[in-house]
Amino acid sequence: MSNLVALVPLVIFLALALAVSLVVRHRAHAAGGGFVKEYFIGNRALGGFVLAMTTIATYGSVSSFVGGPGQAWLVGWGWVYMAVVQVTALVLLYGILGKKMALVSRKLDAVTVIDVIRARYSSNALANVSAVVVVLFFAATMVAQFVGGAKLFEAVTGYSYLVGLVLFGVAVVLFTTIGGFRGVAVTDAICGVAMLIGIFVLAAGILAAGGGYENIMDTIRTNRPEMLEPFGGGSMPASLYFTQWLLVGIFTFVLPQSAVRCMGFKNTKALHGAMIMGTVIIGLMMIGVTSLGVLSAGVLTGDLASYGGSVDNIIPQAIAQTLPPWLAGVAIIGPIAASISTVSSLLIASSSAIIKDVYLHHCESSGKKPTERTIARSSQAVTLCVGAIVFVLAIVPPDVIWKINMFAFGGLETAFFWVLVCGLFWKRAGKWGALLSMTGGTASYCLCMALGFKVMGLHQIVIGITVAGALMMAGSLFGRRDAADEQRMCEVFFPE
Amino acid sequence: MGDPSIRSYCGKMRQANKEARATVIALACIIVVWLVGGFGLAGSDIQVFHTPLWIIGGCVAPWIAAIVAAVVLSRRVFVDFDLDDDAAISGAACEEVARHE
């Protein structure tokens, strides 16, 4: 179906995103203020709606739109029951980290999560390790997002993988470079709306093709009754529910790309509004899109082999089979928006880690003072370069989207959970604990993932978090600490 | 703006701790709704719109619970205050807040 009509909605959408980032840049330029604070944290000016949307769009990735619903097609409603745990994400993020990150980052004039970590633990080594972890995992995730988006594009439009990648890959790298954090936040909001529209359009297509909701449910009951059981006839064991609660529910609030959003909002009203709005929208999105996977079983009634043997083909098939070309073109904006909104946020965060946390810090400690102009130039150059590298990596795609994404997800959670939570809420937490927790926890998580080693059949996140927590305890209780550092830290983090 | 007892940096940080604790309690409530609404209703034969009851209890009820939690937290528990540090109010005010509590 190599059809030009299917491209029009996507091209319009990408042009809109580019135009918006240009406007945002122009306005920010006119408003003045320091470049770093504007480019990497948008002068802490996010309102409630944009804050909610940028958090959701960053969190909702192409795997929420393709891999997840594909699994739901295979497993049934149990997969939706598991996906619903994601509705807690924004309550936890804003409720636990929101105000503390906002207060602390204003006090420290911090622009990145790593700034906060450096100040909390008085450790440059920890800050550097954090920067490496962030850039490494973010890069892997970005590649996976590009690959997922381009594969979907190829499957639905009939144009080649490369055409898709060039189209939205170039757009996202450009608008992130141009717009900075504020541009990313605003385009994220547009992406979020596009994701919702994509879900509604596809829902209409599937429901119409399947003869209505009740009819589809009857078809499923006849063909695959196990899809209506919470354990999915054995494919959804209780242990999976438990670890998914940890992996995509409870621990998500420490992901640095989420936590940084708590440093960018305008006032407490924005935060409170975002918490309510965001919880409504994230539920609509995650429950909606995953349910569509299940419902497509009423339309795509063959076995997995007849759809190319991969659950990643289910949603593209559902789009192509149930919608006319121009509507299919609207529907693919959803997953592609999910892909680019995740990439843009990770890209600006990677760039901030390299420029702010490594380069500018190095300048500061060696007494150099780069001009505002140099900083502006190099920040944009780094954003562009990282984007270009990721883009090139995505041309020859690695295989499993879902796995790579999940690897990075758990890795980041292991690295940052105790470091952030103890950093903000446990006064005794010290630099040795944090260093050991981040390095030891992440290393053990990755090693167990790579070897496929599990305890009691539970996902490796359990091992990672346990090891990281134990190391944080041990290192903090026994590690040496500097009294002067301690006092400076307490004034900001634990005032009395 | 907001509660006058939360003007010092230290008072705001203390309030943030309180809000974080309340959030954890809210999480526990959502988990209970999820468990009861899904696994708890899995044995029921009742169907609504050709859908087994546990699907509605497990996939929709936790979402509603999370929305309710967000509304209750932000309206009843969370307090509006100025995020920028008010340098005029120093450590003295902080002790005052401590006594006030």
Residue B88 has pLDDT above 70, yes or no: no
Q: Which two tokens stand for residue A41?
A: 């944290």
Query: pTM (2 decimals)?
Result: 0.91
Model confidence band, residue B5 (pLDDT cutoffs 50, 70, 90): low
Residue A74 has pLDDT above 50, yes or no: yes
Model confidence band, residue A48 (pLDDT cutoffs 50, 70, 90): very high
Question: Quick one: which H or E segment has residue B48?
Answer: strand B47-48
Q: What is the pLDDT of residue A302?
A: 83
Q: Tell me what percent of the residues of chain A surpass a pLDDT of 90.
A: 62
Is the CB of residue A281 less than 8 Å from the CB of residue A290?
no
Q: What is the pLDDT of residue A397?
A: 62
Nearest to A379, CA basis, from A167, A19, A111: A111
Other C-beta atoms lying within 10 Å of the C-beta of residue A90:
31
Q: Read off the pLDDT of each residue in A214-238 and give the average, rounded to a whole number.
A: 89
Report the C-alpha gap between A401 and A121 in whole angstroms: 35
Best probe of the B interface among A86, A250, A279, by most B CBs < 10 A, is: A279
Q: What is the pLDDT of residues A365-378, one digit of tens each?
A: 888 888 888 999 99
Contact (CB<8Å) B16/A103 = yes
Q: What is the pLDDT of residues A332-342, one digit of tens each?
A: 999 999 999 99
Q: What is the pLDDT of residue A28?
A: 82
Q: What is the pLDDT of residue A97?
A: 96
Model confidence band, residue B98 (pLDDT cutoffs 50, 70, 90): very low
Q: How many residues does chain A have?
A: 496
Contact (CB<8Å) A102/B26 = no
The count of domains in chain B is 1
Q: What is the pLDDT of residue B86?
A: 64
| Alpha helices (runs of H) in B38-90, residue ranges in sequence order | 53-59, 61-72
* Furthest-apart CA atoms within chain B: distance in Å: 65
Residue A16 has pLDDT above 70, yes or no: yes
Model confidence band, residue A156 (pLDDT cutoffs 50, 70, 90): confident
Is the CB of residue A294 less than 8 Å from the CB of residue A223?
no
Q: What is the pLDDT of residue A55?
A: 92
Q: Read off the pLDDT of each residue in A76-90 and give the average, rounded to a whole number.
A: 94
- Say what angle helices A161-209 and A372-395 make with each other, to 10 degrees: 70
Start-to-end CA distance of chain A, whole Å, equals: 67
Kindly list the distances between the CA atom of residue A74 and the CA atoms of A38, A165, A219, in Å, as whole numbers in the listed order.
45, 28, 14
**What count of Cα atoms within 13 Å lies in the side-chain half-sphere of residue A176?**
29
A214 contacts in B (CB within 8 Å)? 49-50
Position B14 in a domain = yes
Model confidence band, residue A2 (pLDDT cutoffs 50, 70, 90): low
Report the C-alpha gap between B78 and B23 in whole angstroms: 10
Residue A400 has pLDDT above 60, yes or no: no
Is the CB of residue A411 less than 8 Å from the CB of residue A140?
no
Q: What is the pLDDT of residues A248-268, one digit of tens each?
A: 999 999 999 999 999 999 999
Residue A171 has pLDDT above 50, yes or no: yes
Report the C-alpha gap between B96 and B84 in whole angstroms: 20
A272 contacts in B (CB within 8 Å)? 74-75, 78, 80
Domain boundaries, chain A: 4-112+131-244+262-401
DSSP letters of A135-198? HHHHHHHHHHHHHHHHHHHHHHH-S-HHHHHHHHHHHHHHHHHHHHHHHHHHHHHHHHHHHHHH
Report the C-alpha gap between B38 and A230 in whole angstroms: 8
Residue A6 has pLDDT above 50, yes or no: yes
Report the C-alpha gap between A176 and A342 in whole angstroms: 11
- Paired strand residues for B47: B52
Best probe of the B interface among A103, A227, A267, by most B CBs < 10 A, is: A103
From A93's Cα to the closest Cα of chain B, the distance in A is 9
Model confidence band, residue A117 (pLDDT cutoffs 50, 70, 90): very high
SS (H, E, C) A272-318: HHHHHHHHHHHHHHHHHHHHHHHHHHHCCCCCHHHHCCCHHHHHHHH
Structural domain containing residue B89: 7-43+71-101
Model confidence band, residue B101 (pLDDT cutoffs 50, 70, 90): very low
Q: Tell me what percent of the residues of chain A surpass a pLDDT of 70.
A: 97
Position B60 in a domain = no
What residues 28-57 of chain B have any CB closer than 8 A to a CB of chain A?
30-31, 34, 38-39, 42, 49-52, 54-55
Position B15 in a domain = yes
Higher pLDDT, A469 or B1: A469
Residue A102 has pLDDT above 70, yes or no: yes
Report the C-alpha gap between A310 and A322 in whole angstroms: 19
Nearest to A113, CA basis, from A427, A438, A367: A438
Contact (CB<8Å) B15/A99 = yes
Residue A79 has pLDDT above 60, yes or no: yes
Nearest to A169, CA basis, from A193, A143, A191: A143
Residue A292 has pLDDT above 60, yes or no: yes
Nearest to A126, CA basis, from A109, A114, A112: A114
What is the ipTM score, two decimals? 0.90
Phi then psi for A446, rounded to 5 degrees?
Answer: -65, -40
Q: What is the pLDDT of residue A443?
A: 93
Average pLDDT of chain A is 90
Nearest to B69, CA basis, from B78, B56, B59: B78
Best probe of the B interface among A41, A56, A77, by most B CBs < 10 A, is: A77
Is the CB of residue A411 less than 8 Å from the CB of residue A460?
no
Q: What is the pLDDT of residue B100?
A: 47
Contact (CB<8Å) B20/A268 = no
Q: What is the pLDDT of residue A399?
A: 58
Contact (CB<8Å) B84/A106 = yes
